[in-house]
Amino acid sequence: MTATATTGASAADTTPVRLAVVLASTRDGRFGPTVGTWFTGLAEQREDLVVDVVDLVETPVPYTMGWGDPAPADAALFAAVTPRLAAADAFVVVTPEYNHSFPAPLKNLIDQHYVEWQAKPIGFVAYGGLAGGLRAVEQLRQVFAELHAVTVRDTVSFHGAAGTFEGSEPRDPEGCGTAAKTMLDQVVWWARALRDAKAARPYGS
């Protein structure tokens, strides 16, 4: 008697990926909103993404490092941002480079959360001087690896950032637009792959 094997796979989830774009800089006169607005505009044109902008000026996270429950005022601040991180399938961090690293408010946001980052992809849009923010990105890759996140390979980088924009638009929209598409394609692929995997088997850290 010959056994007949039945094979099949459930259809992949094609629901749009919920992308949280984190604007990391909080300094007065920051250039981040210029870069972030440009990038968000590109992301919002895609049918496979739903975009939520988490601006750390508008949604600050308290510097509360302790094991107890946060004070009521701190709890309110967490309530404004934590559910949005938890709901995201993926992240893109828009960050400058400060002294070969990334901004303290971003590190605070990362450190105050844990499961919200797990088994999710993270892309980067970096800006700065000669290094284009890439040294900040390399440090962030190490930090997010510790939190079980997956950072995608390709990055959007603006070297000498202030001179690469004319008003609110890049001087070379084709070059950076192509880089952004490549990075977002990778983010979407990983987000869907990890979402399908977690639906079949919860991630365990």
Q: Report which secondary-structure segment, H or E, holds 20.
A: strand 17-23
Most confident region among 69-73, 141-145, 168-172 by mean pLDDT: 141-145
pLDDT bin (cut points 50, 70, 90) of residue 134 is very high
Please give the average per-residue pLDDT across 154-159, as a whole number. 97
Please give the average per-residue pLDDT across 97-114, as a whole number. 96
Contact, 48 vs 15, CB < 8 A? no
Please give the average per-residue pLDDT across 32-41, as a whole number. 97
Q: What is the pLDDT of residue 3?
A: 42
What are the contacts of 39-48 at 24+ separation with CB within 8 A? 39/92, 39/94, 39/125, 39/156, 39/180, 42/177, 42/180, 42/181, 42/184, 43/19, 43/92, 43/180, 43/184, 46/184, 46/188, 47/16, 48/14, 48/16, 48/17, 48/188
What are the contacts of 136-139 at 24+ separation with CB within 8 A? 136/95, 136/96, 136/97, 136/98, 136/100, 136/101, 136/102, 137/95, 139/100, 139/101, 139/102
pLDDT bin (cut points 50, 70, 90) of residue 1 is very low
Domain 17-64+71-200 sits in CATH 3.40.50.2300: no
Instruction: Tell whether the model's pLDDT for residue 85 goes beyond 70.
Output: yes
pLDDT bin (cut points 50, 70, 90) of residue 38 is very high
pLDDT bin (cut points 50, 70, 90) of residue 13 is confident
The percentage of residues in the chain with a pLDDT greater than 90, rounded to a whole number, is: 87
Q: Which residue has the tokens 């929209």?
A: 173
Please give the average per-residue pLDDT across 170-181, as a whole number. 96
Contact, 22 vs 54, CB < 8 A? yes
pLDDT bin (cut points 50, 70, 90) of residue 205 is low
**More confident call, 68 vs 86:** 86
Q: What is the pLDDT of residue 70?
A: 86
Instruction: Tell whether the model's pLDDT for residue 174 goes beyond 80.
Output: yes
State pLDDT tens for residues 45-61: 999 999 999 999 999 99
Q: What is the pLDDT of residue 11?
A: 63
The model's pTM is: 0.91
Question: Which residues lie below 8 Å from residue 114, measured CB to CB, with a gap of 6+?
Answer: 147
Rounded Cα distance between 186 and 154, Å, is 8
Q: What is the pLDDT of residue 204?
A: 84
